[in-house]
C-alpha cells in the first residue's frame, strides 16, 4: 500500500513512520504546515522532519513554496478558540489532495501520534476527506509517544514545546506568566 503521511515535525514522525514501514507500507511524507509561526520555528521543525526521513529512509516532500501563515490566520479568524479544526482541515485537506493527484492508496498524519491533538476530530476529518479510491489510514499512534520522545532526544532532533501556531505558543507562555504572578 502506498501511503502519504502528513508530517508535522520530526519527533512525531519517528514511531509513526517506523510503524507504517514495518507493516509493509510504502511511505512518503508531506510537510505542509502553514500554522507554524514564526518562520524560524517552521524551519527548525522542517529540518527535524527531513532528518528523520533521511534516517528512516523515506522520501519527504517539503512544500516551502506554499508556506504562508496568512492562510492559517484567515482560516481561524473569528474562531481562534476552536482553531484546531480549521488547522486540521488545511493540512489534511492539502495532504488528501496531494495524495489523490499522485495516485496514493491512502493518507494519514503524524498528528495521530500526539496526546495533545484532538484525535477524534482528526479521524473524522480524515475519513470525510477520503473517497474516490483514496483511503484515510487511521491508526492510534499514541502508544509510541514515549519511544518517539526518547529516540528524538537520542538523535538530537529539534523538539518543540507547542503545536506550532501563535495562539498555542501564547497559551503556553501565558500559563508561565500566571505561575510567576506577573
Q: What is the pairing mode between strands 26-31 and 2-6? A: parallel
Q: How far apart are CA 168 and CA 59, in angstroms?
A: 29
Which among 31, 3, 37 is positioned nearest to 164, based on CA atoms?
37
- CB 142 within 8 Å of CB 113: yes
Instruction: Match 519527533 to its residue by C-alpha cell.
Output: 11
| Structure confidence at residue 52 (pLDDT) | 98
What confidence score (pLDDT) does residue 62 get?
98
Q: Pseudo-torsion of CA 20, 22, 25, 27, nearest 10°?
A: 60
**Rounded Cα–Cα distance for residues 92 and 100 (Å):** 12
Output the pLDDT for position 156.
96
Tens digit of each residue's pLDDT (9 = 90 or more) over 90-116:
999 999 999 999 999 999 999 999 999
* Average pLDDT of the chain to the nearest whole number: 94
From first to last of the 182 residues of the chain, give the pLDDT tens digit.
999 999 999 999 999 999 999 999 999 999 999 999 999 999 999 999 999 999 999 999 999 999 999 999 999 999 888 899 999 999 999 999 999 999 999 999 999 999 999 999 999 999 999 999 999 999 999 999 999 999 999 999 999 887 888 888 787 778 777 776 65
Q: Where are the beta strands (DSSP E) in 17-162?
A: 26-31, 60-62, 106-109, 135-136
Coil, helix or strand for 32?
coil
Amino acid at each position: 500500500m502506498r501511503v502519504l503521511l502528513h508530517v508535522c515535525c520530526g519527533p512525531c514522525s519517528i514511531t509513526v513512520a517506523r510503524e507504517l514501514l514495518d507493516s509493509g507500507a510504502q511511505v512518503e511524507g508531506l510537510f505542509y504546515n502553514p500554522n507554524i509561526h514564526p518562520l524560524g520555528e517552521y524551519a527548525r521543525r522542517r529540518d527535524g522532519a527531513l532528518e528523520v526521513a533521511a534516517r528512516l529512509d523515506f522520501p519527504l516532500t517539503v512544500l516551502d513554496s506554499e508556506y504562508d501563515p496568512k492562510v492559517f490566520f484567515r482560516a481561524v479568524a473569528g474562531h481562534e478558540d476552536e482553531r484546531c479544526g480549521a488547522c486540521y482541515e488545511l493540512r489534511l485537506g492539502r495532504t488528501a489532495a496531494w495524495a489523490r493527484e499522485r495516485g496514493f492508496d491512502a493518507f494519514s498524519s503524524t498528528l495521530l501520534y500526539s496526546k495533545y491533538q484532538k484525535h477524534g476530530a482528526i479521524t473524522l476529518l480524515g475519513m470525510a476527506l477520503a473517497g474516490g479510491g483514496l483511503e484515510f489510514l487511521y491508526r492510534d499512534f499514541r502508544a509510541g509517544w514515549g519511544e518517539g520522545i526518547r529516540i528524538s532526544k537520542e538523535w538530537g532532533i529539534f523538539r518543540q514545546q507547542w503545536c506550532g501556531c501563535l495562539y498555542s505558543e501564547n497559551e503556553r507562555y501565558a500559563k508561565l506568566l500566571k505561575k510567576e504572578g506577573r
